[in-house]
Amino acid sequence: MDQKQNSLPVARAVEKNSVKLVIVEDDKFLRDLIIRKLSGEGFLVKEAATGEEGLEIMREEAPQLLLLDILLPGLSGYDVLEAMQKSEQLKSIPVVMLSNLGQKEEVERAKSLGAKDFLIKAKYTPGEIVTRIKEILDELYM
Amino acid sequence: MPFYSSFAARVFLFSCAAMLLLLVAAGFLMQMTAREFFLFFGIGGIGAAFILSFLLAYIITRPILKLAKAARRIAEGDSSVPVDMERNDEIGQLFHFFSGTAKHVRESREREIALSQIKSQFVMVAAHQLRTPLSALKWSLRLMLDGDMGEINEKQREFLEQSYQTNEHIIRLINDFLDISRIEEGRFGFQFQKTKILDSIQKAVEASTAQAAIRGVRLSFVKDIPAELEIIADESRIYTAVMNILDNAIRYSNAGEEVVVRAALTQGKLEVSITDKGIGIPEKERSKIFSRFYRASNAIRKQTEGSGLGLFIAKNIIEHHGGTIGFTSEEQKGTRVFFNIPAGEDFIKKQEKSYQPIGEVK
């Protein structure tokens, strides 16, 4: 699996620390764990504990990809997706949902609001999440 | 309903006959000749008997017809039927009891709906609340196992791997509970799309490798289908189905035995079989093996933990893919569970049409 990851052109960009990600996740422990993995892989990660904070960070500097939780204090993940759709600046940022919801209706709702993929936290390991992010970045940018 | 078998018609005919007999009897008593009889009573008498009988039949059967109509509506599922009739006789009593029963039915139906809503809400909230800390455990154990937190030695790896597998088991249990409650509600949603089916099965086999190793069971995967074969399926549900069957196969094998997963293509169908040499299923219990919460007696003896939901869910998943699932088994010799799924693209339309959610009356 590692070989497959490294063979993606995106791997070189990640190695040069030039791929920026934003993660919106209210659980601090989960946030720390996934950031540790992503940073270890060479991504530049900015974190936000709420949707509002996430939108603000992205407005300052647009990332190449957003990892977004759904159940959040204040704005929900869906609200964030809607806000992004309305903004010229944020519209084109690909979003991967990272949530423990994940029934059909939730996945469909997120995708109809523009989410690229929907990963259920309890079903994916950090390594698998990284692989998926690299695949999506590769499709979009390479 | 033919005319003569209707209750109203019978009352009418009976009373009509009685009245005509009465008229004839009266004629006899009054020692009338046939001519006098017809002159005296004539067509008017017979006509009156007809009209009176009709009225009688109407009065007697009207409340019964009303009751029947109300009962039919309740049987059809409309329990909000108001039944009111002010009568003090036996029919009035009947109405009184009937209204009581109808009220009862209505109340218990409302309670049932409210309870099932509370239950599914509870399962949803509980599942989500449990999944978050379990994800944190999964991720941190995985990061340690992957060496992201520094080097670990073999002994540490072994323990961490066992912890990881235990945690995975809890996550699977919670997923099973969530799936069951969705199946019961008829909201077990499927996301069908073109899927590289070998990858989904491979993923389930890979995810079971560690559990097999811990139990000393060898796990092998025979791939008799091309890697690029795509069929319309719900990737994560197929993963769950294979996972659930594999979990049993490994769990009920003895150390040193082998579990073989095989994927093949026969007559346009994907056929997957999972064969173990484990404890088998007692003959008497084979018919219950796909029932929810059922666990075979020898399985419980070998392993106290287990929800009895795995095969029930697997069956539901395979059938939603237009496939069938079955098994052959011999006690102490092993079990072979197999399922097939149509590999064509046209089944999805068929399955949408035939899809009847459980718990939804149409």
Where are the domains positioned within chain B?
Answer: 3-78, 117-185, 194-352
Instruction: Show the domain range for A70.
Output: 2-136
At how many degrees (to 10) do helices A77-86 and A104-112 cross?
Answer: 20
CB B63 within 8 A of CB B8: no
Cα separation, A134 vs A128, whole angstroms? 10
Nearest beta carbon to residue B128 from set A34, A100, A125 = A100
Work out the minimum CA distance from A23 to partner chain B, whole angstroms.
16
- Residue B105: CB atoms within 10 Å: 14
Q: What is the CATH number of the domain that holds A104?
A: 3.40.50.2300
Cα separation, B300 vs B308, whole angstroms? 10
Cα separation, A91 vs A55, whole angstroms? 11
Cα separation, A68 vs A76, whole angstroms? 10
Which residues of A are less than 8 Å from B131 in CB distance? 100, 121-122
Nearest beta carbon to residue B132 from set A27, A36, A40 = A27
Asked if residue A17 belongs to a domain, the reply is yes
Quickly state the pLDDT bin for B349 (edges 50, 70, 90).
Answer: very low
CATH 3.30.565.10 fits B194-352, yes or no: yes
Total number of residues shown for chain B = 362
Average pLDDT, chain B: 84
Q: Per the structure block, which two tokens stand in for A38?
A: 């992503």
Which residues of B are less than 8 Å from A29 in CB distance? 136, 140
Quickly state the pLDDT bin for B151 (edges 50, 70, 90).
Answer: very high
pLDDT in tens, B57-86: 888 888 888 888 878 887 777 766 666 667
Asked if residue A142 belongs to a domain, the reply is no
Question: What Å distances lie between residue B336 and B256, B282, B312, B319, CA to CA?
Answer: 18, 14, 16, 18
At residue B76, the pLDDT reads 79
Q: Per the structure block, which two tokens stand in for B90?
A: 């036996």
At residue B4, the pLDDT reads 65
A to B CB pairs, distance under 8 Å = 60
Say if residue B348's pLDDT is above 80: no
Q: Which chain B residues have any C-beta within 8 angstroms of a chain A C-beta?
A: 128, 131-132, 134-136, 138-140, 142-143, 146, 148-149, 171, 174-175, 182, 187, 189-191, 236
Asked if residue A44 belongs to a domain, the reply is yes
Placement of tokens 């000749």 in the chain: B33
At residue B246, the pLDDT reads 94
Say if residue B100's pLDDT is above 90: no
Asked if residue A67 belongs to a domain, the reply is yes
CB B152 within 8 A of CB B141: no
DSSP string computed for B206-262: HHHHHHHHHTT-EEEEEEES-TT-EEEE-HHHHHHHHHHHHHHHHHTSPTT-EEEEE
SS3 B173: helix
Instruction: Identify the segments of chain A with pLDDT beneath 50.
Output: 1-5
Cβ-in-10-Å burial (0-12, 13-18, 19+) of B272 comes to: buried
Look at chain A and report how many structural domains it folds into.
1
CB A67 within 8 A of CB A21: yes
Q: Per the structure block, which two tokens stand in for B284?
A: 């008497």
Asked if residue A123 belongs to a domain, the reply is yes
At residue B129, the pLDDT reads 85
Nearest beta carbon to residue A122 from set B135, B146, B148 = B135
Cβ neighbors of B177 (< 8 A, separation 6 or more) are: B123, B126, B127, B307, B309
